[in-house]
Amino acid sequence: MNGPIRRLFYATIALFAALMGMLAYQQVVNAGPLADNPYNTRKVYAQMSIDRGLMLASDRTELARNREEDGLFYRVYPQGDIASQLLGYNDVKYGQSGLEHSLNDYLTGTADEVELANFFDTLSGKQQRGDNVKLTLDPKVQRTALSDLEKLGKRGAVVALDARTGAVLAMASTPTYDLNNLEADWNQLNRDQNGPLLNRVTQGLYTPGSSFKLVTTAAALESGAFNPDSKFNDEKGTINIGGNVIHNWRDQPFGEHTFAEAFAQSINTTFAQVGEKVGQDRLVEYQQKFGLYERPPLELPPDEVAVSGRYVNGSLASPGDSLDPVQVAWMAIGQEKVQVTPLQMAMIAQAIGNGGVMMKPYVVDSILDRDSTVIKKTAPGEWKRPIRDDTARTMTDMMIKVVNEGTGQGARSGKVQIAGKTGTAEVGGGKGPNAWFVGFAPAGNPQVAVAVVVEDADERGHDSSPIAHDVLLSALGM
């Protein structure tokens, strides 16, 4: 029996060698990724003895500060639920999210560019302190956005960007939650079907509906085949493409009209034809020019910024996938499988309002040390140039018509000319549509771009235009 016993021992050695191998893998090779996992609270715990930096709004309103207890620092959010998904949490039990996660190195003073100075502080026995972060967020605009959404009592998202720089002025997502009660509310927040922890501006993927006609129109104008005065005739209110029927809202026929009128009244039958004529290749090319299929370079953790594009079975499809004619027509009116984030739509409006130059969106204005000396300031940067300046001007005129005479009259203001495009995206399942308003103001000299989406909205999509109106006026100080 000694032979098999010996071989049994060799087998034991093999099993234990596998244990050793896996142990070495987890403790050496995989140690970094494990330490960086946002749910690993060790780092947060170790950093609780650091006087974490403040987060300040653009007017220096304190958005996050600390409460000290027995030498440990706990986060306090004086503004409660105002921008919870953006700021994120920093919790010893549940880890980090949002800016608390992505800006952690600055907030703890462990970023490369500031570490040396803090290292000497540690040597000289001073309390280790992080640096303050000043955001571009304007609390007044943020409050307007949030309270408008909350008045509706619906799920939704609002984002406002500085049209010239790409700076985030407001980023609101409902329902929201109070960051100060995170531990007590954690289970309920995770169970809540309405997903309060979700940042709908950057993580919410929505069917764009007619708001996507902005992209289709840009492709159509620059193809040279269409201009705002191009003539169309719509007798029936429906159109047959490849055996499939595309409808106008309530099958309303519009008769003879121009391309600009089709844009203002959001005529599906016309845009289906335009899409068919422009073709899949050019449509997709312009989607990519506007930044779809790419992650917008915002300072949030990458997994909190979704990529817009065509989604099939929950994952991003390749832009090169070939589509049927009817799918192309549906895509032109924003009803195919294209899914976009409100941030993406606001960036499209920003680019149109900025003469065709899309800026990198950003929310961190500057990093300040404790003496308020600026250590690092974000310089606005160009991200893409999706369209020509003259195309942008033509589109602005078309967008003015939407607000003055078309589907976007709910956003119309006597004080400032607003330009925009609405969208009413059918979602099915017995729910109301997603109502969009994407636009900017003042139309003659765009300063603020905005995207609003309201879920389960009333049938004609009147919920989002008034919010866009309020947020634009608030951002313009009117």
Partner 1 sequence: MERKRELVSFLPVLLLTAVGFASVYAARSSQIGAGSLGYGALFLGIFVAIHIVLRLAAPHADPLLMPITGLLAAIGIMMIYRIDPALAAAQATWLLVGVGLFAAIIFFLRDYRKLDDYIYLLGLAGVFLLVVTAVAGYDPNNSGVRLWLKIGGMSIQPGEFSKILLTIFLAGYLHSKRELLSTSTWHLAGLPMPPAKHLGPLLTVWGMSFIMLLIMNDLGPSLLLFGIFLAMIYVATNRLSYPGMGLVLMAGAGLFAYFTKAVVHLRVDVWLNPWTDIQGKGYQLAQSLFAIGDGGLFGTGLGKGYLLTASGRPLIPALQTDFIFSAIAEELGLAGASALIVLFLLLCYRGFKIAILAEDGFSKLLAAGIAAGFGLQTFFILGGVMKLIPLTGITLPFVSYGGSSIVANFASLALLVLISNRTNSARPLPSASEGAA
Q: Which positions are catalytic?
A: 210
Helix (H) or strand (E) holding 172: strand 168-174
Among 51, 61, 62, 92, binds partner 1 (CB under 8 A): 92
Site for partner 1 in 57-76 (CB under 8 A): 72
Size of the site for partner 1 (CB under 8 A): 38
Q: Report in angstroms how near the CB of residue 85 gets to partner 1 at its nearest.
A: 17
- The contact mask relative to partner 1 for 169-208 (x = CB under 8 A, - = no) is ---------------------x------------------
Residue 13 binds partner 1, judged by CB under 8 A: yes
Smallest distance, partner 1 to C-beta of residue 43, A: 9
Give the pair of three-digit tokens for residue 39: 């749910």
Strand-pair partners of 376:
367
* Min separation Cβ 21 and partner 1, Å: 8
Are 401 and 228 in contact, with CB atoms under 8 Å apart? no
H or E element, residue 449: strand 448-454
117 binds partner 1 (CB under 8 A): no
Pick the closer one to partner 1 by CB: 2 or 124: 2
Give the span between the Cα atoms of 353 and 342, in whole angstroms. 16
The end-to-end CA distance of the chain, in Å, is 93
> For residues 69 and 317, what is the distance between their CA atoms, to the nearest angstrom?
50
Question: Of all helices (H) and strands (E), which one includes residue 380?
Answer: none
CB of 283 to partner 1, least distance (A): 35
Considering the complex, state which of residue 45 and residue 119 has its C-beta at the smaller distance from partner 1.
45
* Three-class secondary structure of residue 455 per DSSP: coil
Closest CA to 284 of 213, 219, 214: 219
19 binding partner 1? (CB under 8 A): yes
Nearer residue to partner 1 within complex by CB, 1 or 116: 1
Candidates 51, 94, 238, 285: give the one binding partner 1 (CB under 8 A): 94
Of the listed pieces 6-14, 118-126, 222-230, 370-378, which binds partner 1 according to CB under 8 A?
6-14
CB of 182 to partner 1, least distance (A): 13
- C-alpha angle with apex 308: 307 to 309, nearest 5 degrees? 120
- State which of residues 28, 116, 123, 379 lies at the interface with partner 1 (CB under 8 A): 28
Rounded Cα distance, 217 and 226, in Å = 9
Q: Which two tokens stand for residue 263?
A: 């844009």
CA distance 260 to 303: 39
Alpha carbon distance 299, 167 (integer Å): 11
Judged by CB under 8 A, does residue 9 bind partner 1?
A: yes
Between 2 and 373, name the residue whose CB sits nearer to partner 1. 2
Cβ proximity to partner 1: between 20 and 225 the closer is: 20
**Looking at beta carbons only, is 16 or 119 nearer to partner 1?**
16
Contacts (Cβ under 8 Å, ≥6 apart) of 3: none
27 binds partner 1 (CB under 8 A): yes
- Cα separation of 212 and 224, whole Å? 19
Which chain residues interact with partner 1 by CB under 8 A? 1-6, 8-9, 12-13, 15-16, 18-20, 22-24, 26-28, 30-31, 33-35, 37, 39-42, 45-46, 72, 92-94, 190
